[in-house]
């Protein structure tokens, strides 16, 4: 049994986007703050800190999770994936990211990392996800700029390409 005292920093090690990284956190440190300010991974954004807006959505052990509703200590030893890990390599974009760009599915880009993590998870788990299912998953996010329609279009386009229904241009 691990017991950690309030106010003391403890080491936390994650497998972050496939690489082992460590930092220190108090028991109460939110994973969102730990990623951004301890590990310097600022792609995961904070929009509400009560689990509604979805901007901080990451993947923990393969499942979607609100980083703002997770303590860093809870993620110790787990696989955490963030928006920084989506692109296949530096200077390239993933199929979903490319589709977002092609469909103008982002404007300010602040909510985008969380939306990408949710939709990337959906298309990985359910390659045949249809518009209704995509909209349902997107329903767990707030975006103030786009009106959502281009995001749905981008996800449908990416899904088709990932299935091989459409050849990449």
Partner 1 sequence: MAADASVNIGRARPRVEDAALLTGAGQFIDDLAEPPGCLHAAVLRSPHAHALIRDIDTEKAKQVPGVTCVLTGEDLAAVSLPLVVGLKLPMQCWPMAVGKVRYAGEPVAVVVAASRYVAEDALDAIRVDYQSLEPVVSAMDALQPESSLLHEEVGANLVNDRRFRYGDPGAAFADAERVVEITVDYPRNAVTPIECYGVIAKFDPHAEAFDITANFQGPFSMHAVMARSLKVPGNRLRLRTPPDSGGSFGVKQGVFPYVVLMAIAARKAGRPVKWVEDRLEHLGASVSATNRRITLKAAVAGDGRISALDWDQVEDVGAYIRAPEPATLYRMHGNMTGAYDIQNVAIRNRIVVTNKTPTGLNRGFGGPQVYFALERLTAKIATELDLNPVDVIRRNLIAADAFPYRTATGALYDSGDYQRALAMALESDTYKELLARRDAARAAGRLYGIGFAAVVEPSVSNMGYVSTVMTPEERAKAGPKNGAQATATVRLDPLGGVGVQVASVPQGQGHRTVLGQVVGDVLGLDPAHVAVVTELDTARDAWTIASGNYASRFAAAVAGTAKLAAERLREKLAAIAAAQLNVRPDEVVFADGKVAAAGNPENAIPFARLAATSHWAPGTVPDGAEQALSETVYWTPPELTAPDADDRVNSSLCHGFIFDVCGVEVERATGRVSIERYLTVHDCGRILHPEMVDGQVRGGFANAVGAAFYEEYAYGADGSFRAGTFADYLVPTALEVPAPEIMHLEMPSPFTPLGAKGVGEGNCMSTPVALANAVSDALGREVTALPLTPDRVRGLIDEAEPPAPAGSEALPEPEGARTLRGEGEERFAISRDALWATLLDPATLEAIVPGCHAVEQVSEFQFHADVTLGVGPVKDRYKVEVLLSDLEAPQSATLSATATGALGSGSGTGHVYLVETPEGGSQLVYRYQASVGGKVAAVGGRLLDGAARMVIGQFFRALGRHADAERRRGFWGRLWARLTGLRMGSGR
Partner 2 sequence: MKPAPFDYVLAENAEQALAVLAQEGDAARVLAGGQSLVPMLNMRLARPGMVVDISRLHDLAAIHAGNHAISVGAMVRQADLLAHPHLADSHPLLAQALPWIGHPQTRAQGTVCGSLAHADPSAELPLLLTALDGSVTLRSRRGRRELSAVDFFLGMMTTDCAADEMIEQVRFPAKRPGAGYAFREFSRRDGDFAIVACAAAVTADGIELTLGGVGDRPHRRVWERLSGSALDDALNEFAWQSDARDDQHASARLRRDLVRSLGRQTIEEAQACRE
Q: Check: CB of residue 138 under 8 Å from CB of residue 148.
A: yes
Contacting partner 1 within 88-147 (CB under 8 A): 93, 97, 100-102, 104, 106-113, 116, 135-136, 138-147
- Interface with partner 2, residue 163, by CB under 8 A: no
- For tokens 């975006």, name the residue: 143
Taking the C-alpha atoms of residue 155 and residue 168, their distance in angstroms, rounded to an integer, is: 15
Taking the C-alpha atoms of residue 121 and residue 27, their distance in angstroms, rounded to an integer, is: 28
Stretch that binds partner 2, among 15-23, 36-44, 131-139, 155-163 (CB under 8 A): 131-139
CA atoms within 13 A on the CB side of 164: 0
CB of 126 to partner 2, least distance (A): 10
Q: Look at residue 4 and give the partner it binds from partner 2, partner 1, none, a contact being a CB closer than 5 to 8 Å depending on partner kind.
A: partner 2
Q: Which two three-digit tokens encode residue 5?
A: 């005292």
Helix (H, G, I), strand (E, B) or coil at 60: strand
Whose Cβ is closer to partner 2: residue 57's or residue 146's?
Answer: 57
**CA separation, residue 26 to residues 73, 85, 99 (Å):** 8, 25, 39
Taking the C-alpha atoms of residue 141 and residue 164, their distance in angstroms, rounded to an integer, is: 27
Query: What mask, x for binding partner 2 by CB under 8 A, covers residues 7 to 46?
Result: x------------------xxx-x--x-------------
Q: Look at residue 18 and give the partner it binds from partner 1, partner 2, none, a contact being a CB closer than 5 to 8 Å depending on partner kind.
A: none
User: Applying CB under 8 A, which residues contact partner 1?
Assistant: 26, 28-29, 36, 41-50, 52-53, 55, 82-84, 86-87, 93, 97, 100-102, 104, 106-113, 116, 135-136, 138-152
């Amino acid at each position: 049994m691990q017991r950690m005292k309030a106010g003391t920093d403890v080491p936390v090690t994650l497998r972050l986007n496939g690489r082992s990284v460590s930092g220190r956190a108090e028991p109460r440190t939110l994973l969102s703050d730990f990623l951004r300010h301890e590990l310097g991974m600022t792609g995961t954004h904070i929009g509400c800190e009560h689990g509604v807006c979805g901007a901080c959505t990451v993947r923990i052990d393969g499942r979607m999770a609100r980083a703002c509703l997770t303590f860093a200590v809870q993620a110790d030893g787990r696989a955490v994936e963030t928006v920084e890990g989506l692109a296949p390599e530096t200077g390239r974009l993933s199929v979903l990211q490319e589709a977002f760009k092609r469909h103008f599915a982002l404007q300010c880009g602040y909510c985008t990392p969380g939306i990408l993590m949710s939709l990337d998870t959906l298309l990985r788990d359910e390659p045949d996800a249809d518009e209704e299912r995509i909209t349902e998953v997107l329903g767990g996010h707030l975006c103030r700029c786009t009106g959502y329609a281009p995001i749905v279009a981008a996800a449908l386009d990416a899904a088709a390409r990932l299935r091989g229904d459409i050849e990449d241009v």
